[in-house]
Amino acid sequence: MGIFIQQVFNGLTVGGIYALIALGYTMVYGVMRLINFAHGDLCILGAFVGLTFLTGTAGSGHPGAALLLLAFVVSIVVVAGAGLLLELVAYRPLRRADRLAAVVSALGASVLIENGIMLIWGANVHVFPSGLLPATTWVVAGASITFVQVMIIAVSVLLMAALYLFVHHTRFGTAIRAAAIDQDTARLMGINVNRVIASVFVIGPALGAIGGLFIGIYYRQAYFTMGWTYGLYAFIAAILGGIGNIPGAMLGGVLLGLFNAFAAGYVSSSWQDAITFGLLIAILLVRPTGLLGERVAEKV
Amino acid sequence: MAESAEIATTAPLPASRRSGFHTSGAVGLALWAIALGVPAVLNSTWVSVAAIFAIYAITALSEDIILGRGGMFDMGHAVYLGIGAYVTGILNTEFGWPIFATMPAAILLAAAVGALLAAPLIRLRGDYLLVATIGFNAIFVLAMQNNLGGITGGSDGLFGLDVPRIFGLQLASQPAMFWLDWVVLGGALLLMRNLERCELGRTLRYLKQDELAATTLGVDARAAKTLAFAIGAGLAGLAGSLFAVQLSSVGPSSFVFTESVTLFAIVIVGGQGSIPGVLLGTALMFVVPQIFRDFAQYRYFVFGFAMIVVMVLRPQGLWPRRRTAV
């Protein structure tokens, strides 16, 4: 029983991170029908920027919590800026081109960012400093739950709730949803579609930066190829929930996190990835629209 | 307009266009014949780069059958290259088959796996097919790493493959391997050229332009696409077999997802359905990085940058397919 509860909490923590990253994939796909392959790398860029800020300010005498908060702000700003730049330079010129051109541009952006990270920070594994957060651990029914886990789960839930309210209950959120259904009609209704797309490339990477920094803090390490691994998982989460569907990405992230935790805990960690990809293919065969249904208008 | 032209051209071509085809074919043949002389002029490093170019060119052409001509977003093509390489490696090192005897098996198994994987998935929307093939690629590499069935050699792979022998002749020297690879490349180019003109080629082009119209006219989209997938996978299997022979070893790291991404990008960067485009793409994406080995740190950074720049400036590819009515 203790192991079960433990895996549930581990799964929820990782699931919260997957969900934060998956939101970036699903929002971009919803509006542009583009798999932004560079998204995972942007998230890990967030982890590296945050790490550099934290190691640079360590020992400056300021309270740890304030520095950590600032690290998040700095990495959000940098990553959102990179996302916006990426949209302008690599995706905007290709909006009317063959879709595969944009796919290859996205792959190129991923290679570029990944190797950019390697050039700046090196190819070695960076270890996150300890003592940033209280090392408090609670024991619940035989499972130990750390402060970091509780923080990640709580912040993820809060951010997802905020995004849901923003997209479904504000004017700009309505514009995003309208552009996702039909860009041309949205334009005729006076919506500035360019601004909507730009905003998606700010919100997605911003949430992704938080997710990336969480990965660093949770696993206490960062390396430059991490973006692919976590990006792919988050993308699977987005498909699991139904691509283009924001609550779907949240549900998909949490379910995938739990699934992974149990696969690792009960089956075998060397086959964990294979099991996850097997699950992905099974979903695509049985229910390709995902659990909550995709929100993508198919162009005929 | 394009669609109607497509249907109407079952009639013989006008002489002018036919001669155009012959010219490009003659130029291609001449270039290929000149390339056969590489071992006489260049040193061994370049001979092996040229041999590897031929192997990757065959693989890229096979990806073009599926992606460029079939319009199916296959981002796991390294799997079929890997199946071919492992079939040759396992049959040769564990069962003592001669190299040339393993090649038909490599082709058949890769083609069968391709058809089996593709059949249920090709009805999916393009992006989902892409994601599913990424998944297959990851599963394949893990299965090889985890030493599936105890015959794949785990993460180290298989070593000590025999050299190919034909009529008592050993193809052990580097020029001999080079010629073997280039003769197979010649065969692959001939296959592509015939595919261009045969019924399957025309069916695929029609499907790519307007699948709804084609199926309404009675074209069996699923059969044509499955067949294209099988041919592409089989050709990649043959390339994989050559790859194993060239390196005289097989390891999982040669067939990881990044390789599939590169193959995918070659077709799009070079030009979908364009033979010279795919060859140019292969030269740029596989050979140029080999030349810039000394700048290892920067080369992939520049590589990613170049992919974006090429796509933004030439979204149709560097050497796009000619707009012929055939």
pLDDT in tens, B148-181: 888 888 888 999 888 888 877 788 888 899 999 9
Question: Where is pLDDT greater, at B315 or B289?
Answer: B315
> Is position B321 within any domain?
no
List alpha helices for chain A, DSSP H: 2-32, 39-57, 64-86, 99-121, 147-169, 171-181, 183-188, 193-219, 226-241, 246-262, 272-286
Q: Which residues pair with A144 in a beta bridge?
A: A139
Q: What is the mean pLDDT of chain B?
A: 88
Residue B38, pLDDT > 80, answer: yes
Counting Cβ atoms within 10 Å, is residue B136 exposed (0-12), middle (13-18) or buried (19+)? buried
Burial B55-67 (b: 16+ CB within 10 A, else e): bbbbbbbbbbbbb
Question: Where is pLDDT greater, at A137 or B18?
Answer: A137
> Is position B1 within any domain?
no
Q: Distance of CA A244 to CAs A26, A289, A294, B147, Å?
A: 5, 10, 6, 38
> Is position B193 within any domain?
yes
Query: Is B308 touching A (CB cutoff 8 A)?
Result: yes
> Is position B320 within any domain?
no
Taking only residues 146 to 165 of chain B, the set having a beta carbon closer than 8 angstroms to any beta carbon of chain A reads 146
CATH number assigned to the domain comprising residue B124: 1.10.3470
Q: ipTM of this model?
A: 0.90
Looking at the complex, report in whole angstroms how far the Cα of residue A240 sits from the nearest Cα belonging to chain B: 11
CATH number assigned to the domain comprising residue A244: 1.10.3470
Of chain B, the percentage scoring pLDDT greater than 70 comes to 91
Query: What pLDDT is recorded for position A299?
Result: 43
Sorted by sequence, the CB contacts under 8 Å of residue A32 that are 6+ apart come out as: A91, A95, A102, A197, A200
- Residue B321 DSSP label: P
Query: What pLDDT is recorded for position A56?
Result: 87
Query: What pLDDT is recorded for position B2?
Result: 43
Question: Where is pLDDT greater, at B104 or A262?
Answer: B104
Q: B263-275, pLDDT tens digit by residue?
A: 999 999 999 999 9
Taking only residues 79 to 118 of chain B, the set having a beta carbon closer than 8 angstroms to any beta carbon of chain A reads none
User: Which band of pLDDT confidence, cut at 50, 70 and 90, is reported for residue B190?
Assistant: very high
Positions of chain A with pLDDT under 70:
1, 295-300
Query: What pLDDT is recorded for position B80?
Result: 98
- Which of A155, A153, A156, A152 lies closest to A20, judged by CA? A156
Domain count, chain A: 1
- Residue A127 DSSP label: E
Cβ distance A73 to B238 under 8 Å? Answer: no
Residue B325, pLDDT > 60, answer: no
> Is position A297 within any domain?
no
Q: Could you list the residue range(s) of the whole structural domain that residue B222 is in? A: 11-313
> Is position B302 within any domain?
yes
Q: Which residues pair with B29 in a beta bridge?
A: none
A102 with B311: Cβ contact below 8 A: yes
Query: What pLDDT is recorded for position A297?
Result: 54
Query: What pLDDT is recorded for position A295?
Result: 67
Residue B294, pLDDT > 90, answer: no
Mean pLDDT confidence for B254-267 = 94
Cβ distance A50 to A75 under 8 Å? Answer: yes
Q: What are phi and psi of A221, to 5 degrees?
A: -155, 160
Q: What is the pTM (predicted TM-score) of this model?
A: 0.90
d(CA A185, CA A179): 8
B124 with A97: Cβ contact below 8 A: no
A232: its two tokens: 């792919």
B138 with A274: Cβ contact below 8 A: yes
B283: its two tokens: 């030269």
Mean pLDDT confidence for B228-251 = 96
Mean pLDDT confidence for B210-232 = 93
Q: What are phi and psi of B81, to 5 degrees?
A: -60, -45
Residue B10, pLDDT > 50, answer: no
Query: What pLDDT is recorded for position A296?
Result: 62
> Is position B2 within any domain?
no
Query: What pLDDT is recorded for position B326?
Result: 43
> Is position A114 within any domain?
yes
Q: Could you list the residue range(s) of the whole structural domain that residue A186 is in? A: 23-286
d(CA B315, CA A101): 5
> Is position A6 within any domain?
no
> Is position A245 within any domain?
yes
Q: Distance of CA B66 to CAs B35, B186, B192, B250, B298, Å?
A: 27, 19, 12, 25, 32
Residue B205, pLDDT > 60, answer: yes
- Which of A93, A117, A131, A277 lies closest to A212, judged by CA? A117
Strands of chain B, DSSP E: 158-159, 165-166, 169-170, 249-250
Mean pLDDT confidence for B187-202 = 93
B121 with A285: Cβ contact below 8 A: yes
> Is position A55 within any domain?
yes
Domain count, chain B: 1
Query: Is B124 touching A (CB cutoff 8 A)?
Result: yes
Query: Is B312 touching A (CB cutoff 8 A)?
Result: yes
- In chain B, residues with a C-beta closer than 8 Å to the C-beta of A274 are 138-139, 142-143
Residue B6, pLDDT > 50, answer: no
Q: Which amino acid is at A68?
A: L
- Which of A227, A241, A107, A88 lies closest to B73, judged by CA? A107
Query: What pLDDT is recorded for position B323?
Result: 66
Residue from the list A33, A235, A271 with its beta carbon closest to the beta carbon of B146: A271
B268 with A109: Cβ contact below 8 A: no
